[in-house]
Amino acid sequence: MIERYTLPEMGRVFSDAHKYELWCQVETLVLEAHAVAGTVPTEAVEPVRQAPPPTPERVAEIEAVTQHDVIAFLTAWADNTEPRDAAKWVHFGMTSSDLLDTALAAQLVEATDILLAKADDLVAVLRDHALEHQGTLRVGRTHGIHGEPDVWGHRVADFAFAMARSRDRLHRAREAVGVMAISGPVGTYSNIDPRVEGYVAEKLGLRAADVSTQVVLRDGISEWVSALAIVATVCEAIALEVRHGQRTEVRELWEPFGKGQKGSSAMPHKKNPIMSERICGMARNVRAQIVPVMEGIPLWHERDISHSSTERISLPDAAVATDYLLNLTTRLMRGLVVDADRMRHNLESTHGLIYSSTVVSELIETGMSREDVYALVQTAAMRTWETGTDFRQTLRERAAADGVGLDEARLDEVCRPERFVRRLDRVFDRLKGLS
């Protein structure tokens, strides 16, 4: 992921320097386990533990010759070990995937914890915003067309629960991705005791794979990327709602617009929904990582490395982009401007047409057939569309022409927007308990 979208904490998790720190940690724990078992000399552990991780520059220099990243790392780290002879016990009985998959699991768990904390924040912001606007009337839309009266808090409550479910999915994906293996070539433990694997797993807070055939099967990592993609897409759903609400013809919602901010290089009047558009665009990048990572599940026999080059790009990109999206969506919702007056104006702009479904129900209860009622109400509604005459007036005229009597007082009662949202209290009661 380019630096423009990389926040510092997540950027460090996927930096080369931190990767080598994790590699050192894994190798040291393996060495400790060997020493406890008496497989390697105990005096080899401390010099290795004290050796500083190699720099990314030094590893890259050696890898340019060896064309093998793990060998380059081990060589560079051995150069930092005093006495150097202790380094010969590092990586004892292991194969490259033991190191790579175990360190990757630790790295992805770290990244997930950062994302979970930000998802918690976004759930809380969405919850509080929805509760603040549980009485803010607006028109509900289907297909982009006015439907019936609603409240803005209802729409945001849906997003709050969706993000909470997405966060819970990510919790489960954390378990799926926190799987390691130290089982040696082709995963048969031929040169390493399974107790070493158990020791390292416990120290790192990971779970040993049920089966390892030299690599950890990528179904868990695929689940993790899919969970990130859902988080990102819920962020996109929120942003898309804001984009629609900020259109000139709607003008119900506004992104925060800071002092000195510019909307257009050519048109000074513009206040564009740039945050929301960026969220919608970046969500595509996260979703795009699902297929490449999932294609790492089928490998040749016990192991190949066709997955590794993909994962070097896809896993950091998915995590970094999701981190950025959560951060930006939280900023968007914290600073969102809601124009309640404009929402009410838009709700009334169709001259009462949004009450047509309620009128249908009321007339059916008088004994008319659904077909006759629908024809009457639709004819009156089309007249309102064409002339701008208030729907209740065109309805009266159509009913009189058809010889249908209307209860005027009842008609006024069912055509009040507040009547439509009285049953939403149960939604907001559940929302108050969301955390």
Yes or no: say if 103 and 53 are a contact pair by the CB < 8 Å rule.
no
* Per-position DSSP letters for 215-269, written without gaps between them: S--THHHHHHHHHHHHHHHHHHHHHHHHHHHHSTTT--EE----TT--S-SS-TT
Which DSSP symbol is given to 186? G
Q: Is 68 one of the annotated active-site residues of the chain? A: no
Q: Is 222 one of the annotated active-site residues of the chain? A: no
SS3 356: helix
From its phi and psi, is residue 404 left (phi > 0), alpha (psi between -120 and 50) or beta?
A: beta
| Residue from 264, 306, 349, 369 carrying the catalytic annotation | 264
| Closest of 323, 294, 334 to residue 311, by C-alpha | 294
Question: How many residues belong to the chain?
Answer: 435
Classify each residue of 406-423 as buried b or exposed e, where b means 16 or more C-beta atoms within 10 Å of its C-beta.
Answer: beeeebeeebebeebbee
| Closest of 289, 290, 164 to residue 234, by C-alpha | 164
Which DSSP symbol is given to 54? P
How many Cβ atoms from other residues are within 10 Å of residue 271's Cβ?
Answer: 14
**In degrees rounded to 5, what are phi and psi of residue 160?**
-60, -45
Catalytic residues: 143, 264
